[in-house]
Amino acid sequence: MKKKIAIIAGINGQDGYFLASLLKKKNYTTVGLSRGSENKHKLNKVKIIKTNYTFHHIKKIIKTVKPDIIFNLAGESNPEASWKKINIFNKSIVQINSNFLNAIVENSKKIKYFYASSSEIFGLQKRKISEKSPFIPNNPYGCFKLSSHLLVRLYREKKKLFAVNGILFNHDSKLRSNKYLLPEIINFCKKYQKGQTLKLIDGGVIRDFGHAEDVVKAIYQVMTINNPDDYIISCGNVFSVKQIAKEIFRKFNINFKNIQFLKMSKNNIRIGNTTKLRKKIKWDLKYKKENFLKEIINEY
């Protein structure tokens, strides 16, 4: 039987690594796309194609590779940085997504397409967020992600594409960039010198965390469902920044008093409701709340 072919855009990110590893087990031939030609994570048997993600180059790649499925994990991903890099974020999120959708239409509508949407499209909400929650992005990144999310839905409905929005909540791993919360705290502790203080913006922030390995399992599985749709993908490991910082400091035997919180808001909350997802797939988490932080800390 002919092996299925997958394209992963953004292969050098944490999700790209875990997804490529999973697809290898599923006997896929995987081609990775990246702005650089480097195989950053030394993924075995994964061909890396350097691309600038223009429409014409994506169209050419699809025509040559003839993929059965495309996972678009590419684009900038730091909400805070999006305020200072509006045009860069717009191009890397909205334009790349649009280029993929149009290239699929011109090549073959049989190609399945996954788009990595984001919980940032919902902003901050006190209740658990479901697929029916109102869209209220509160930063440029969230706005650009929402634009792409709606475009995927539009092409699914009007162009009849098998196009899925996986609405991803916070997830981490040892491959996560140091500019994000968990690796920032862990790396601080590893380099800690007596008397140092870690300054964190908002200790009251409450988020739904997961491990990238668990998240990509769901990403793969939603593409095996017969009918394409939009799905919340969150792991349900709910912590405040204060709880996380306290636990990490405890693991490193550092006094919790060495953390300074610049504020402690009460309504900065984002938690996912995966009821719809779990009705469609059997999703067993490897990293659950009782061992999530412990395993993440041990990875670094």
Q: Are residues 13 and 93 in the same domain?
A: yes
Residue 252 lies in a domain: yes
Q: Are residues 46 and 179 in the same domain?
A: no
How many whole angstroms separate alpha carbon 169 and alpha carbon 233?
Answer: 6
- What pLDDT score does 17 carry? 94
Q: Are residues 25 and 53 in the same domain?
A: yes
Strands 269-270 and 29-34: unpaired
- What pLDDT score does 37 carry? 66
Q: Are residues 255 and 293 in the same domain?
A: yes
Q: Are residues 227 and 285 in the same domain?
A: no
- What pLDDT score does 88 carry? 95
Q: Are residues 47 and 184 in the same domain?
A: no
Residue 32 lies in a domain: yes
Range of the domain at 158: 5-171+211-233
Query: Can you give the CATH number for the domain in which 80 is found?
Result: 3.40.50.720
Q: Are residues 229 and 92 in the same domain?
A: yes
* pLDDT per position as a tens digit, 249-288: 999 999 999 999 998 888 899 999 999 999 999 999 999 9
Residue 275 lies in a domain: no
Nearest residue to 169 (alpha-carbon basis) of 40, 79, 294: 79
How many structural domains are present in the chain? 2
Judged against a pLDDT cut of 90, whether residue 160 lies above it is answered with yes
Q: Are residues 116 and 259 in the same domain?
A: no
Average the pLDDT over 185-212 and give the result. Answer: 93
Which residues have a Cβ under 8 Å from the Cβ of 101 and sit 6 or more positions away? 113, 151, 152, 155, 159, 161, 163
Residue 242 lies in a domain: yes
* pLDDT per position as a tens digit, 127-142: 999 999 999 999 999 9
Which two three-digit tokens encode residue 15? 């999700």
* pLDDT per position as a tens digit, 59-88: 999 999 999 999 999 999 889 899 999 999
Q: Are residues 218 and 249 in the same domain?
A: no
CA separation, residue 78 to residues 112, 150, 176, 275 (Å)? 27, 20, 12, 27
Query: Can you give the CATH number for the domain in which 203 is found?
Result: 3.90.25.10
Residue 144 lies in a domain: yes
How many whole angstroms separate alpha carbon 298 and alpha carbon 300?
Answer: 6
Judged against a pLDDT cut of 70, whether residue 150 lies above it is answered with yes
Task: Specify the higher pLDDT residue, 44 or 244.
Answer: 244
Which two three-digit tokens encode residue 122? 């919902």
Q: Are residues 53 and 181 in the same domain?
A: no
Sequence-ordered alpha helix ranges (H) in 111-223: 140-158, 181-190, 212-222
Q: Are residues 215 and 139 in the same domain?
A: yes
- What pLDDT score does 299 carry? 81
Q: Are residues 15 and 146 in the same domain?
A: yes
- For the chain, the average pLDDT equals 94
